[in-house]
Amino acid sequence: MRFESPDTIEQAVELLNTCDGISRLLAGGTDVLVQLRLALVEPDLIVDIKNIAGMRNITAEDGGFRIGAAVSGAEMGEHEGLVALWPGVVEAMELVGSTQVQGRATLAGNLCNASPAADSVPAMVVANAVARIVGPNGTRDCPVIDIPVGPSKTSLAKGEVITSIYLPARPDNSGDAYLRFIPRTEMDIAVSSAGVNLTIDSAGVVTQAQVSLGAVAPTVLVVDDAAKAIIGTKLDDDAISALQAACSAACNPIDDKRGTVEFRTKTAGVMAKRAALIAYSRAGGSK
Amino acid sequence: MVKVNLWGSLRSATGGLTEVEVDAKNTGEMLKALAKKYPALELIIEGGVSVAIDGQIYKEAWFTPIKPDSEVVLMPYMKGG
Amino acid sequence: MVTEYKEGSVGAELGQREFKVVGTRPPRPDGVDKVTGRALFGADLTAPGMLHATILRSPHAHAKIVSIDTSAALAMDGVKAVVTSDDFVKQGGSGNQDTLDNCMARGKVFYDGHAVVAVAATSVMVANAALKLIKVEYEILPHETDVDAAMLDSAPVLHAGRKFRNIPEGNNANVSGFWEFGHGDIDEGFAKADIIVERSFKTAATHQGYIEPHATLATMGPDGRGEIWVSTQGHYMVRDLSAAFVGMETSQLRVTAAEIGGGFGGKTTVYLEPVALALSKKSGRPVKMVMTREEVFRASGPTTSSSTDVKIGMTKDGRITAGQAKPRYQGGAYPNITAMLGAMTAFASYDLEAVQTQAWNVLTNRPKQAAYRAPGAPMAIYTVESVIDELCQKLDLDPIEVRLMNAAKKGTLSSYGPTFDEIGLVATLEAAKAHPHYAAPLGPNQGRGVSCGFWFNFAGNTSVSMGINEDGTVSVIEGNPDIGGSRASISMMAAEELGIPFDKVRTIVGDTNSIGFNDVTDGSRVTFSVGLATIKAARAAIQNMCGRAAQVWGIDADAVDWVDGAAVPTGHNAGEFPPMTLAEIAADSAKTGGPIAGHHEVNADGAGVSFGVHLVDVEVDPETGFTEIKRYTVFQDAGKAIHPDYVEGQMQGGAVQGIGWALNEEYIYGEDGKLQNAGFLDYRIPVASDLPMIDAVILEIPNPGHPYGVRGVGETGIVPPLAAVANGVSHAAGVRMSELPMSPPRILAAIDGAK
Amino acid sequence: MSKIHVSTSINGDAVEYLCDPSETLLDVLRNRVGLTGAKEGCGSGDCGACSVELDGRLVCSCLVLAAEAEGKEVSTVEGMADGEKLHVLQQKILDHAALQCGVCTPGILVAAKALLEKNPDPTETEVRYWLAGNLCRCTGYDKIIRAVMDAAAEMRGA
């Protein structure tokens, strides 16, 4: 195994693109090192991107924030502007692993690991987050939702590297939230999860909303029916029930050691309901 | 003679009895006498047993005296964690 | 002369004796090493020229080993030795042979993770690469991991042709043990009942979950002499088994216990040690072996999983008329006695006219179970305490009052045979009843659970030696690895008996060549047995010191007493001499006859049983089945608490392990017989944020069998939480839970099922 | 397989080592540098026994490649005491008997130190969540939480 720590993104892309064997990108390393340890993967090349300029920065851009691919969850949580703008995305990222893991784990890494249960992804999806990708053919932007295509599989081509995630500006009176169900209070992988992003008008009526679910399908689900159920409402009980039902109806989970189909289906709706109420409150709505 | 209480599943070795009598003044004599009287108990005793005398459990203590009116219970060998 | 305390009359002594050191809370002697990172645990040890060894493990749950070809691995650069079961000596007793076969599979693999070949090489990386070159041909056999299924006639047989003793007709060949206990006429008892509840329960296998994986370092030279350094609960056990397995005499193997990073029963046997020794023998170099966490879960002892039918009859006013339990435990591929202990303990808390328990141990394709803190008792008592709770609920009776009404006390014929002496259950229940926790109001979706618990506590073979140093300090050697602060409690008892300050005593755990034999640190035996031997060793030293003083004073040894750390004349008639302190006597020891020491060796008895009562408030989220522990209080009879901090620590730690067992911990096997959650990510032990403070209330009901009244305290704490939490959850969720763990999917399914 | 040369700082001392690309910082601390205070309980970031600070950030050293430590500052439990004087947290762990076997203790200490540097006045809940990645199987956490709260109070007062 070769370890490289290039100074430029071009060098990183070149290394990955010319590697004949298995290569892995190293940002926070909290997934890659576990895979190495369990011999789930035996890469020929590891490329550490943390020494590349800009990878560890959070920068304001067009009213939103661009988050470098090597920014840790802890650094996101310490960034007041980011926390104020996208609290749901930050809280989702901060749910990944322990305090120790937070010191290393990254948004881009959580995305590229392509776990159906990744905590940050449902939150990024409802935030319309966009990944910036540099590859052998130049730079492109891609909505976060299009990156994972199945468990442990992404749409990234050989040699492509996510360099940052962009969280856009948002209208006033908006709020987002992410909730997951785990059997303990910490240290577990989500059994089901939900992200909600919404905007309300001065009367407290939801004018736009997005709802996503994690861990209930091979990739994150965007549940338009759930969003429709609350748009035009003040999140009254009927609207909430409709959202919950729409979420449960959209689920397509598996039975495994972490939960049953029935359990995931039911709790995904519960998480969405509770996340919607938090998002609504963050948007300034009162019930 | 001392009365010895056996645990229930030893009935098969004593012709259905869970209380038997042997002549013994201490635990060592008691175990030997039991094995002699009920040969099917010999392997079980060799495999390891505990003996409770008047409520006190002994693992291996041949010279612990037994009074004629003592409560004597043969127990399996036990182990903790 | 030395006052001779008679065992059996100690209760009286306890009442009179004012302790100076015992009952205080001094800092533990190994504390600074452990907070600075200096303490050396099993994996921290190295030796010059050391090799590293790793193990090839079975990928199958059950298979015949057709052939093993290690030639390519042996030919690899850096590989120094390879061993298989052929490299070990066949054992006489079946128990030892099972342990050996579990260390290295012989002919068949019985579970996913069973060791097949070990390789020693210049690095872990090289050893692991070599494992990939080993060709093992397997003939895959059908497997079974469930206890009830393994008892069916259709189940695959693990040990065909092997005969097990005392198995009644009608059981299949996987039943390796059957036991029955009880007294009274069970049918008559049930006939007297106003209400009878019958219920079946299941509990999952749980792992001891010590944070330190198994680790050992072994060396053996061409002279046939060996050394092992190891993280273990019993280095004498490691010595005896390892020497037997590689075919050497016990005296030629010296074993030193490293600091141990948790055991809870799981380190009371060998896994790596004989293998490392055999590899060292073959390679001529020291060999280190450290399990990965995955190996710990796949191949070291979890406890048993269980399936139990319980039937209890009660009168309207709460008197139990009869109790019956039929526990069936699987403990993996080899016989064990855990089901028996379950049957013995199930009804131990109660004074019953009619009680019957029958236990089956069943072989399955899972790792060989190892003892886990009060082995067998938590799951058995869980079933009984759940049914008693349900009876109280149905009869609208207070669960503590009912337990008090039926509680075992001095003179009760126990459910497992003997009659109880002084025991503390009633006092413990009264303390729980009177505690503010029991009267505190509950919120919505909350429930309160109560459970009693019992454990025997054991004693056993123990040796202690102490030297009185010329500067007036004392060096104590004991032979039981210190798993939770025992060097502190042993030093305290030595200081107490000698009448000197705690900090004048240093206790170490000696290697197997430094003192006589010691049983394993298990069965909550150490503070009791080693304490007993320490007190007696101190008395031997005191007798010697009184003799020295008598000689100096020119009076009879009989005329010298030992008071507050000094020899004094017994009275005016003996002569007028100022007290001669331990330090003064020690300083002149060379002139008065030579070194002063004391030692004591005993197969101790009289450990004294222990009872606990736990109270828990839980809140269940009716939409997710998530259980939060809101409040937890432990009441336990500790006998005399030598170091109350560490007694509380045992009670708190046991409670939290039991909470984990109740709520989330479980071995999960797939249809393929492979363990699916061999890591701390999905084997979910409680984390700090899962818990409230655990209040610990120590009751001191002296054990008549110990000079200071000590009872074992280590194990009882894990017994009540299973039922306490289950009863709390059942009340909070409004539905009776009968399967552990009560993971959120199970609770939610039960809530939805009850609608 | 060629080794990587790394220059780093460990507990304030300049340290150089050669490591294999696949070795973790934990492997190197324990096997090459001789600092065995950090323990391997799982190798997967689930137990926290290997906690160290890397450039002031709490991490699991089993989830850091040794090569990544180039030019960084590593702090381990061995660097907590000042000569003979124990860190307040170390003393409080002893005073509260907040350890039984002690194998998780180094990780707990490093993690708690990182907490109190960031938040000198944590609530019990904050301490519990911060330490959720440090498994302890012996104590039930009760005495550990009390020790950390007490240390925080003393450090605030000092």
Which tens digit of pLDDT belongs to each residue from C351-398? 999 999 999 999 999 999 999 999 999 999 999 999 999 999 999 999
Task: Name every chain C residue with its beta carbon within 8 A of the beta carbon of B46.
Answer: none
Task: Name every chain D residue with its beta carbon within 8 A of the beta carbon of C653.
Answer: 100, 137-140
Question: Which two structure tokens, joined as six digits, stand for C618?
Answer: 């839980």
Between C and D, how many residue pairs show a Cβ–Cβ distance under 8 A?
A: 183
On the question of pLDDT at C6 being above 50, the answer is no
* Residue of C267, C356, C458 to mutate, testing the B interface (most B Cβ within 10 Å of its Cβ): C458
Question: Are D67 and A36 within 8 A, CB to CB?
Answer: no
Q: Please say whether the beta carbons of A31 and A109 come within 8 A.
A: yes
Q: Please say whether the beta carbons of C36 and D77 come within 8 A.
A: yes
pLDDT of residue C5: 33
Choose among C165, C180, C337: nearest Cβ to B7: C180
Neighbors of chain A by Cβ distance (3+ pairs < 8 Å) = C, D
Tens digits of residue pLDDT in C457-468: 999 999 999 999
Question: Are D43 and A98 within 8 A, CB to CB?
Answer: no
Between the CA of residue A45 and those of B24, C123, C447, D21, D84, what are the distances in Å?
78, 21, 55, 9, 45
Question: Are A258 and C748 within 8 A, CB to CB?
Answer: no
Question: Are C181 and B8 within 8 A, CB to CB?
Answer: yes
Question: Are B80 and C182 within 8 A, CB to CB?
Answer: no
Dump strand ranges (E) for D20-125: 51-54, 57-60, 73-75
Q: Please say whether the beta carbons of D151 and D114 come within 8 A.
A: no
Shortest distance between the Cα of A257 and any Cα of chain C, in A, equals 7
Question: Which two structure tokens, joined as six digits, stand for C578?
Answer: 């100022």
On the question of pLDDT at C10 being above 80, the answer is no
Shortest distance between the Cα of C266 and any Cα of chain D, in A, equals 13
The single-letter code of the amino acid at C505 is V
Question: Are A184 and C748 within 8 A, CB to CB?
Answer: no
Shortest distance between the Cα of C383 and any Cα of chain A, in A, equals 24
On the question of pLDDT at C342 being above 50, the answer is yes
Between B and C, how many residue pairs show a Cβ–Cβ distance under 8 A?
A: 109
Residue in chain A closest to C746 (alpha carbons) equals A263
Q: Please say whether the beta carbons of A258 and A229 come within 8 A.
A: no
- pLDDT level of residue C14 (50, 70, 90 thresholds): low
Residue with tokens 């390519």: C72
Q: For chain D, which domains are there?
A: 4-79 (3.10.20.30), 88-157 (1.10.150.120)
User: How do the residues of chain A divide into helix, strand and coil, expressed in percent and rounded to 5?
Assistant: 35, 25, 40
CA distance A106 to A29: 9
- Give the three-class secondary structure for C358: strand
Choose among C266, C419, C522: nearest Cβ to B80: C522
Task: Name every chain C residue with its beta carbon within 8 A of the beta carbon of A270.
Answer: 623-624
Residue in chain D closest to C264 (alpha carbons) equals D138
CA C323 to chain centre: 27
A186 touching D (Cβ < 8 Å): yes
3-state secondary structure C614-679: EEEEEEECCCCCCEEEEEEEEEEECECCCCHHHHHHHHHHHHHHHHHHHHCCCCCECCCCCECCCC
What's the average model confidence in pLDDT over C556-580?
93
What's the average model confidence in pLDDT over A109-118?
97
Q: Please say whether the beta carbons of B34 and B3 come within 8 A.
A: no
C326 touching B (Cβ < 8 Å): no
Query: Backbone dihedral region of C247: left (phi > 0), alpha (psi from -120 to 50 degrees) or beta?
Result: left
A50 touching D (Cβ < 8 Å): yes
Choose among C213, C485, C691: nearest Cβ to D140: C691
Residues whose CB is less than 8 angstroms from the CB of residue C183 and which lie 6 or more positions away in sequence, other chains included: C354, C355, C413, C415
Q: Please say whether the beta carbons of C289 and C215 come within 8 A.
A: yes
Task: Name every chain D residue with its beta carbon within 8 A of the beta carbon of A74.
Answer: 57
Shortest distance between the Cα of C672 and any Cα of chain A, in A, equals 14
Task: Name every chain C residue with its beta carbon within 8 A of the beta carbon of A191.
Answer: 744
Question: Are D138 and C694 within 8 A, CB to CB?
Answer: no
Task: Name every chain D residue with its beta carbon within 8 A of the beta carbon of A100.
Answer: 45, 48, 51, 58-60, 63, 111, 133
End-to-end CA distance of chain A: 57
Question: Are D63 and A36 within 8 A, CB to CB?
Answer: no
**Element at C75 (helix H, strand E):** helix C71-75
Percentage of chain C lying above the pLDDT 90 cut: 95
Q: Please say whether the beta carbons of C599 and C518 come within 8 A.
A: no
What's the average model confidence in pLDDT over C568-596?
95
Question: Which two structure tokens, joined as six digits, stand for C673?
Answer: 């017989």
On the question of pLDDT at D1 being above 70, the answer is no
Nearest alpha carbon to residue A37 among D23, D54, D46, D36: D23
Question: Are A100 and D67 within 8 A, CB to CB?
Answer: no
- pLDDT level of residue A153 (50, 70, 90 thresholds): very high
Computed over every residue of chain A, the mean pLDDT equals 97
Question: Are C416 and B75 within 8 A, CB to CB?
Answer: yes
D153 touching A (Cβ < 8 Å): no
Tens digits of residue pLDDT in C404-463: 999 999 999 999 999 999 899 999 999 999 999 999 999 999 999 999 999 999 999 999
Question: Are C421 and B55 within 8 A, CB to CB?
Answer: yes
- pLDDT level of residue C8 (50, 70, 90 thresholds): very low
CA distance C478 to C490: 9
DSSP state of C28: P
D75 touching A (Cβ < 8 Å): no
What's the average model confidence in pLDDT over C705-732?
97
C344 touching B (Cβ < 8 Å): yes
Choose among A187, A188, A259: nearest Cβ to C745: A259
Nearest-5° Cα angle at A144, A143 to A147: 100
Residues whose CB is less than 8 angstroms from the CB of residue A72 and which lie 6 or more positions away in sequence, other chains included: A28, A102, A103, A104, A105, A106, D57
Instruction: Round the CA-based radius of gyration of chain C to a whole number and report it.
Output: 27
Q: Compare A14 and C92 and report the one with higher pLDDT.
A: A14
Question: Which two structure tokens, joined as six digits, stand for C574?
Answer: 């003996």
pLDDT of residue C408: 98
Assign domain A174-282 to its CATH architecture: 2-Layer Sandwich (3.30)
DSSP state of C167: P
Question: Are A26 and D62 within 8 A, CB to CB?
Answer: no
Question: Are B76 and C337 within 8 A, CB to CB?
Answer: yes
Question: Are D63 and A101 within 8 A, CB to CB?
Answer: yes
Computed over every residue of chain C, the mean pLDDT equals 96
Residues whose CB is less than 8 angstroms from the CB of residue A238 and which lie 6 or more positions away in sequence, other chains included: none
- pLDDT level of residue C16 (50, 70, 90 thresholds): low
Nearest alpha carbon to residue C339 among C179, C173, C149, C158: C179
Q: Which alpha helices (H) appear in chain A, and where do they start and end?
A: 9-18, 32-37, 73-77, 80-85, 87-94, 99-102, 107-112, 120-126, 224-230, 237-250, 261-282
Tens digits of residue pLDDT in C629-663: 999 999 999 999 999 999 999 999 999 999 999 99
Q: Please say whether the beta carbons of C109 and C60 come within 8 A.
A: yes
* Residue of D19, D75, D103 to mutate, testing the C interface (most C Cβ within 10 Å of its Cβ): D103
Which fold, A50-167?
3.30.465
pLDDT of residue C554: 96
What's the average model confidence in pLDDT over C253-266?
98
Q: For chain B, which domains are there?
A: 2-76 (3.10.20.30)
Nearest alpha carbon to residue D21 among A23, A97, A104: A23
CA distance C217 to C231: 9
CA C216 to chain centre: 20
pLDDT of residue C573: 85
- Give the three-class secondary structure for A118: coil
Task: Name every chain D residue with its beta carbon within 8 A of the beta carbon of C681.
Answer: 44, 46
Torsions phi, psi for C549 (to 5 deg): -60, -40
Percentage of chain A lying above the pLDDT 70 cut: 100
Question: Are D62 and A48 within 8 A, CB to CB?
Answer: no
Q: For chain C, which domains are there?
A: 10-39+459-604 (3.30.365.10), 143-418 (3.30.365.10)
The residue length of chain A stands at 287
Q: Please say whether the beta carbons of C85 and C101 come within 8 A.
A: yes
Tens digits of residue pLDDT in C267-293: 999 999 999 999 999 999 999 999 999
Tens digits of residue pLDDT in A40-61: 899 999 999 999 999 999 999 9
User: What b/e sequence results for B13-40 when a residue is b if at least 16 CB atoms lie within 10 Å of its CB, and e otherwise?
Assistant: bbeeebebebebebbbbbbebbbeebee
pLDDT of residue D2: 85
Chains B and A touch (3+ CB pairs under 8 A): no
Shortest distance between the Cα of C235 and any Cα of chain A, in A, equals 31
Choose among B44, B47, B55: nearest Cβ to C418: B55
Complex ipTM = 0.97
Question: Which two structure tokens, joined as six digits, stand for C54?
Answer: 């790793």
pLDDT tens, per residue, chain B with 81 residues:
999 999 988 988 899 999 999 999 999 999 999 999 999 999 889 888 999 999 988 987 899 999 999 999 999 988 888
Q: Compare C264 and A286 and report the one with higher pLDDT.
A: C264
Residue in chain C closest to B8 (alpha carbons) equals C180
Question: Are C28 and D90 within 8 A, CB to CB?
Answer: no
Q: Please say whether the beta carbons of C127 and C52 come within 8 A.
A: yes
Question: Are A103 and D70 within 8 A, CB to CB?
Answer: no
Shortest distance between the Cα of D119 and any Cα of chain C, in A, equals 17
Query: Backbone dihedral region of C541: left (phi > 0), alpha (psi from -120 to 50 degrees) or beta?
Result: alpha
What's the average model confidence in pLDDT over C52-60?
98
Question: Are D132 and A185 within 8 A, CB to CB?
Answer: yes
Question: Which two structure tokens, joined as six digits, stand for C404?
Answer: 């008090």
Question: Which two structure tokens, joined as six digits, stand for C261?
Answer: 């990073």
CA C525 to chain centre: 9
Shortest distance between the Cα of D126 and any Cα of chain C, in A, equals 9
Q: Please say whether the beta carbons of C106 and C333 come within 8 A.
A: no
C749 touching A (Cβ < 8 Å): yes
Nearest-5° Cα angle at A144, A143 to A145: 90
Residue in chain A closest to C626 (alpha carbons) equals A183
DSSP state of C530: I
